[in-house]
Structure 1
Amino acid sequence: MRRASVRLRAALGATLVVALALVAAGFLVVATLRGGLADTARLAAENAARGTAAQLAGLSDTRAGRADGLDADEPVQVVAADGRVLGASDPLRGHGPIAGFARPDPPGEDAEHQDSESDSDSDADADADSDAGPEPESARGGAAEELDADSESRTLSFPVDDDGEVTYDKEDITGTQEFDVAAVQGRTGDGTPVVVYSGASLGAQQEAVSTVTRAMLSGLPVLLLVVAGVTWLVTRRALRPVEGIRREMSAITASTDLARRVPEPDARDEVARLARTTNETLAALEMSVERRRRFVADASHELRSPIASLRTQLEVAAAHPELLDLDEAVADTVRLQTLAADLLLLARLDAGERPAEGRVALDALVREQAAQRGADRHPVRVAETPAGGEVRGSAGQLSRVLANLLDNAQRHAASEVRVSVRRDGGDLVVEVLDDGPGVPAADRERIFERFVRLDAARSRDEGGAGLGLAIARDVAERHGGTLRAPAPSGGGGRFVLRLPLAGS
């Protein structure tokens, strides 16, 4: 089952659920049908018994056998208090009282008289039973019990012949059949207490239940096959786009062509959303791979220049020591070291390195960075702002961000660089301004890409490798902040660093 397809599992699961539901419903239907038919038979038996009892009210006990209800084919019997059978229908004629029911109490007599009569009743019963012949198994036994209502019903079995008619002829008995027998107390016209027993066959009930059961058992496999087939077809159709996505993903994996996309169904369902998400993932992966490819190419290009320059100077120095330009060699070495450090930091950021958890006073970092540039050609002027407040993160990485922003501003400034720190809601905002030519609107996002240098800063003598602003934005985003280059209110360049304040 572990290797079974989704279609097979769905078909089997749906079939199992439907089968359980149908079986439960079948049991409920059969139980309801059986109960309803049993109630109908019980009501019919009771009505017949009451009808016969009503007729006996106009007859004496000697004429009780002439009641109209005793000419029925169903078992009907009239029994006196002393156990005498006063009348019976053809199926029970000549047999003793129906067993399993109590006999009526003679009215107006006390318990002592009842006890004295019990022995004579027993003798009379024995004489009547001996005159009527042996009592069949279905009509024997049953302890006497008091009737605390006008009627009582029991389910009893009687011997029947091939036609389902009650018979006590040993040659005609082919089986037994259950009857719902109702017992109703009454009196004859001369005041004799009697019990009228009337039975209604449960054969129709049993036949109806058997028919319904057979119909459900025969229809269940067909219905389950239909459910399984429909579920299979519906699942197959629903999963067809998924198979298309799988094939295309397999082809993309084999070809390593990340420009390909999986087909997107027209429907607005889960499969369509899966296809769109897959294509978005492929697009992000393609962009990431392309970005990494350009990064490697640009890094190789940027490393090649200082390494080649340094190698040339060393080779010249080896051949002509007097021609060695030591300052240039040191500058190339420093440039190479700085570039390697930048590449290492970017690699750590790309790997998802989280900044160290600490509380950093951003205004103190700004003043520290400005103080280090006091002797530069374009000094940094810090605006007096009562900012205060701290941010969470790495003091070293945030210092790197500020240094890169100030270096970039000094590189492009005409005369001065201004920096300020202020609160803005739940953020601390650092704004760096210079009076240089500024950043063209079309390049205000492009300058944050790696190894991007605008035409005015292509000289490696004046500009860096194009990683400073990219590193600054990546570090800001890792600290939950942003770094943008919005349009300045006046001229020059403007960079805005926004970081969330540290909570208490």
Structure 2
Amino acid sequence: MRRLRPKSVRARATLAATAVVAVALGVASFVLVWQLDTNLVQNAENAAAQQALGVAGRAAEGTLLPLPPASHGADFIQVVGADGQVLAASPNLAGRPALGGRRPLGPGTVRSTWDSGPLHEGHRQRVVEVTTETRNGLVTVYAGTSLRDADAVDETTGALLAVGLPLLVLTVALVTWRVTGRALRPVEAIRAEVAEITGRDLYRRVPVPASQDEIARLAVTMNATLDRLEASGVRQRQFIADASHELRSPITVLRTQLEVALAHPDPALWPELVSGALEDTARLQDLASDLLLLARLDTSEPASTTRVDLVELVRGLAESRRADRHPVQAVIMVGEVAGAGEEPGAADAGPVTVVGNPLWLTRLVTNLLDNAQRYAETRVELVLQTEPATRTVVLAVSDDGPGIPEADRERVFERFSRLDDARSREEGGAGLGLAIARDLATHLGGSLAVVPSPRGARLVARLPLAPPDRAGTH
């Protein structure tokens, strides 16, 4: 059965529609023929019953003879006495024996259909038997009519349906085949266009039909997917080009230092040369780590997650940076309010728990602090607070540096982006810190943006709070 099943949608739709129409027409034809036959037989029976009742009434009154002629709808009449003798009959039954094999036991009316009646004309005959009481005993009146009209209608209707139904079913199949073919033509055009699109021509788009139906929406969705693929390809190629450019500089400097050390074997120069080589090697190592992390984030590779207390994490990072050029001032605005004479954040703050990867959260805060310290003039501030209404934790890092122009507040999150092209790579970094920070915030279910600040730059990360720890509430 699976081998005989049509493969294409067009063939399956045509077969299904044709089968449904064929079954529906077959049932409707049967009901039509049955209804016509029933009505015609009922009409013939009514005419015969009317004739039989009239003759039976005359017999009961004793005025049976002469026998009235058969009216319209009755083809023969026969009156039989209780002893089986024929008392009267219509001319076409003259000399015939009594109809019916049994003698009635009491008055009443019986209706029956005979396939081979007394006229022997090859058609069914509907007979009505009316038994009535007379002075001479029971008398039975047989009045019958031929069902030639009903049989003729049945034959004619059956012949017409036998010819018309296959033609109608065939017409439905052809129309369905044409309509489905026309409806699926845009789908085939979309398939053919997608089949020809390769990684080198992602600029191509599938045709969108003007029908504004499901197929048109499919084409629009497909083009949107191609837009994303093209943007991803452009971003990937740009990333590879920028990464190659960024790697070339430290590698070139490192090679130059090694060539100088090889060309001047003076031991007095080796400490300086080795120190410079180590610095460039560290830069290469950091850049390679950033590139690997970006590659992992781009592939949406899942990372292990756990419940992390941001209060503890922020305090630890702030303590580790007290010896930096601009110490980090941490302000934790959760839990109890700091008392008089206490430093901001010195109060006993309760835990602020989020679900995430501890290394990613540490890297997110570290990148924000590194960026702030790189451009700050005197201070760096780290504020941690919660928004219970939205179940969100807000982490804001501010500095008093030159700030970020409004037109560049999105460009700073682009990879290898530097607002000041003249700034050296040693001072300005590779331009990956904020890009990594935003990707990390997004993967943690939050966001990172630059918000207006009276002075300097202010970057705000929003992360969802962890759901209540049910195990710890018991």
TM-score by length of 2: 0.88
Structure 1: how far apart are the matches of 2:71 and 2:393?
A: 108
Structure 2 spans left out of the alignment, 5+ residues: 336-350, 469-474
Q: Quick check: 2:127–2:143 contact (8 Å CA) kept in 1?
A: yes
Q: Larger deviation: 304-313 or 491-500?
A: 304-313
Local SS of the residue matching 2:183: helix
What is the deviation of 1:69? 4.5
Structure 2: how far apart are the matches of 1:89 and 1:178?
A: 19
Structure 2: how far apart are the matches of 1:461 and 1:100?
A: 124
Local SS of the residue matching 1:341: helix
Local SS of the residue matching 2:466: coil
Q: Quick check: 1:411–1:463 contact (8 Å CA) kept in 2?
A: yes
Does 2:458 align with 1:494? yes
Does 2:352 align with 1:389? yes
Structure 2: how far apart are the matches of 1:430 and 1:17?
A: 64
Amino acid of the structure 2 residue aligned with 1:280: A
Q: How many residues align structurally?
A: 443
Match of 1:240 in 2: 185
What is the deviation of 1:455? 1.2
What is the deviation of 1:54? 1.8
Alignment of structure 1 residues 147-186 onto 2, 5 Å: 150-158=108-116, 166=119, 176-186=122-132
Does 2:292 align with 1:363? no
Q: Quick check: 2:326–2:378 contact (8 Å CA) kept in 1?
A: yes
Q: Quick check: 2:109–2:128 contact (8 Å CA) kept in 1?
A: yes
What per-residue deviation string (whole Å, max 9, x for no partner) do you get for residues 454-473 of structure 1? 11673111121111111111
Q: Quick check: 1:104–1:194 contact (8 Å CA) kept in 2?
A: no
Q: Quick check: 1:51–1:69 contact (8 Å CA) kept in 2?
A: no
Which residue, 385, 408, 413 being the options, matches 1:422? 385
Residues 159, 50 of structure 1: alpha-carbon distance in 2 compared, 3 angstrom cutoff:
closer
Q: Quick check: 1:65–1:86 contact (8 Å CA) kept in 2?
A: no
Q: Quick check: 1:7–1:236 contact (8 Å CA) kept in 2?
A: yes
Match of 1:141 in 2: none
Alignment of structure 1 residues 213-292 onto 2, 5 Å: 213-253=158-198, 256-292=200-236
Q: Larger deviation: 293-302 or 177-186?
A: 177-186
Does 2:296 align with 1:348? yes
Structure 1: how far apart are the matches of 2:460 and 2:65?
A: 116
Q: Quick check: 2:115–2:123 contact (8 Å CA) kept in 1?
A: yes
Local SS of the residue matching 1:176: coil
Residues 13, 157 of structure 1: alpha-carbon distance in 2 compared, 3 angstrom cutoff:
closer
* Greater radius of gyration (CA): 1
What is the deviation of 1:247? 2.9
What is the deviation of 1:249? 2.1
Structure 2: how far apart are the matches of 1:400 and 1:158?
A: 102
Match of 1:79 in 2: 80
Structure 2: how far apart are the matches of 1:311 and 1:81?
A: 136
Match of 1:447 in 2: 412
Match of 2:339 in 1: none
Amino acid of the structure 1 residue aligned with 2:22: A
TM-score by length of 1: 0.83
Amino acid of the structure 2 residue aligned with 1:299: A
Match of 1:338 in 2: 286
Structure 1 spans left out of the alignment, 5+ residues: 106-146, 161-165, 168-174
What is the deviation of 1:102? 4.2
Q: Larger deviation: 267-276 or 315-324?
A: 315-324
Structure 2: how far apart are the matches of 1:159 and 1:81?
A: 22
- Of structures 1 and 2, the one scoring higher in RCO (CA 8 A, sep 6+) is 1
Structure 2: how far apart are the matches of 1:410 and 1:39?
A: 104
Match of 2:24 in 1: 21
What is the deviation of 1:342? 0.9
Local SS of the residue matching 1:197: strand
Q: Quick check: 1:70–1:77 contact (8 Å CA) kept in 2?
A: no
Q: Quick check: 1:476–1:483 contact (8 Å CA) kept in 2?
A: yes
Residues 3, 344 of structure 1: alpha-carbon distance in 2 compared, 3 angstrom cutoff:
farther
Q: Quick check: 2:51–2:71 contact (8 Å CA) kept in 1?
A: no
Residues 461, 2 of structure 1: alpha-carbon distance in 2 compared, 3 angstrom cutoff:
farther
Q: Larger deviation: 65-74 or 298-307?
A: 65-74
Residues 2, 300 of structure 1: alpha-carbon distance in 2 compared, 3 angstrom cutoff:
farther
Q: Larger deviation: 71-80 or 462-471?
A: 71-80
Structure 1: how far apart are the matches of 2:45 and 2:130?
A: 12
Match of 2:471 in 1: none
Structure 2: how far apart are the matches of 1:301 and 1:463?
A: 15
Residues 101, 365 of structure 1: alpha-carbon distance in 2 compared, 3 angstrom cutoff:
farther
Local SS of the residue matching 1:455: coil
Structure 1: how far apart are the matches of 2:378 and 2:117?
A: 124
Match of 1:109 in 2: none
Match of 1:315 in 2: 259
* Identical-residue share of aligned pairs (%): 49
What is the deviation of 1:159? 5.6
Structure 1: how far apart are the matches of 2:259 and 2:186?
A: 64
Does 2:52 align with 1:49? yes
What is the deviation of 1:222? 2.0
Match of 1:115 in 2: none
Amino acid of the structure 1 residue aligned with 2:466: A
Match of 1:112 in 2: none
Match of 2:145 in 1: 200
Alignment of structure 1 residues 399-478 onto 2, 5 Å: 399-424=362-387, 425=389, 426-455=391-420, 458-478=423-443
